[in-house]
Amino acid sequence: VEDGPNWYGQKDTSDTSGGEDYPVALQPSSLTKNTYSPRIVFSEACYGGHIAGRSETDSIAMTFLGQGVLALIGSSTIAYGSVTTPLIGADLLGNLVMKYLVEGQPVGTAFMKAKVDFVREMNLRQGYLDGEDQKTLISFILYGDPLIAYDPYQVSAKTMTREKDHPVVKTVVDQDMDAAKSSPISAKAIASAKELASQYLPGIEYAEVHIHSQHVRTHTSPVTGAGKGTSNQMRPSSRVVVSFSKQINFEQHIHRQYARVTLDSQGKVVKLALSR
């Protein structure tokens, strides 16, 4: 949570045996300084890398770094992920970082390459980067020494490469449906999205619902020598995002949980993103 030091888990929504919906998974006092501190930590948790105005006593990220962890990657805000394959958001970024770490890349290089691969993968799947993709790229931050490798005895011989080309990447901007009438969505499609999200967002009947159309921002560059700068153009896509948000109050903290369901022009679900 943004206003607290702990990292929380979430009870399986199909578990009816009782217990806390959001039990404490880890807290600063759980971490003890010893000679076996991990070299590198990657956290997918919401606010896992939020350290503004924090100290070791009220930030797990700061505690890790203060007790010997040499590099930590975490999100400064809400983080999104998937519930199944294909991986998205924090799940995909984490998977790519681990891939390069296992290959012997230093964490800084692994993080950089993972973000580049993330952009290419999501651009290949969707044709653009949506809101969750952009937020993942911006919010995940590396703290510590970028030259640290997972295995100091197995470092890749060549760690830095120069990209040979610069792929054109499109991004989307969500616009409220009231201001974008060009992407209508049926009540049936909204109900289907709500039913899907209810499997992972308890109490969704009390959640706020927002509907947005996706507008693609295209970047055009003039021919060399014909002009200067670039121009941005917007065009509506055929996809709509239905987002659900719910405020959760527990242990004197406030947390908002989100589910974002992307639908195509036929009302078919093409992506489900959940806050971690």
Give the pLDDT score at 221: 44
Q: Are residues 21 and 120 in the same domain?
A: yes
Is 149 a member of any domain? Answer: no
Give the domain-ending residue among 90, 109, 144: 144
* Inside any domain, residue 133: yes
Q: Count CA within 13 A, CB hemisphere, residue 224.
A: 0
Q: Check whether residue 185 and residue 117 sit in a common domain.
A: no
**Same-domain status, 137 and 184:** no
Is 159 within the bounds of a domain? no
The domain in which residue 56 lies consists of: 7-144
d(CA 34, CA 29): 14
Contacts of 129 (CB under 8 A, 6+ apart): 119, 122, 123, 137, 169, 170, 171, 172
Residue that wins the pLDDT comparison between 227 and 203 = 203
The pLDDT of residue 179 is 46
136 and 217 assigned to the same domain: no
Give tens-digit pLDDT for 123-146: 999 999 999 999 999 999 999 999
- Answer whether residue 159 shows pLDDT above 60: no
Domain count, the chain: 2
User: What is the average pLDDT value for the chain, to the nearest integer?
Assistant: 85
In a domain, 162, yes or no: no
Residues 132, 200: one domain? no
- 192 and 108 part of one domain: no
Residues 191 and 262 placed together within one structural domain of the fold: yes
Q: What is the mean pLDDT of residues 98-123?
A: 96
Q: What is the mean pLDDT of residues 239-258?
A: 84
The domain boundary residue, chosen from 126, 144, 162:
144
Q: Is residue 15 pLDDT above 90, yes or no?
A: no
Do residues 138 and 203 both lie within one domain?
Answer: no
Which span out of 139-148, 157-166, 212-221 was modeled with the highest average pLDDT? 139-148
pLDDT tens track for 166-175: 767 889 988 8
For residues 65 and 132, state if they share a domain.
yes
Please check whether residue 251 lies inside any domain of the structure: yes
In a domain, 112, yes or no: yes
Clarify whether residues 133 and 28 are in a common domain: yes
In a domain? residue 163: no
Check whether residue 135 and residue 183 sit in a common domain: no
For the stretch 43-97, pLDDT in tens is 999 999 999 999 998 899 999 999 999 999 999 999 999 988 999 999 999 999 9
How far apart CA 263 and CA 121 sit, in angstroms, is 20
Asked if 275 and 244 touch (Cβ cutoff 8 Å), the reply is: no
Same domain, 101 and 219: no
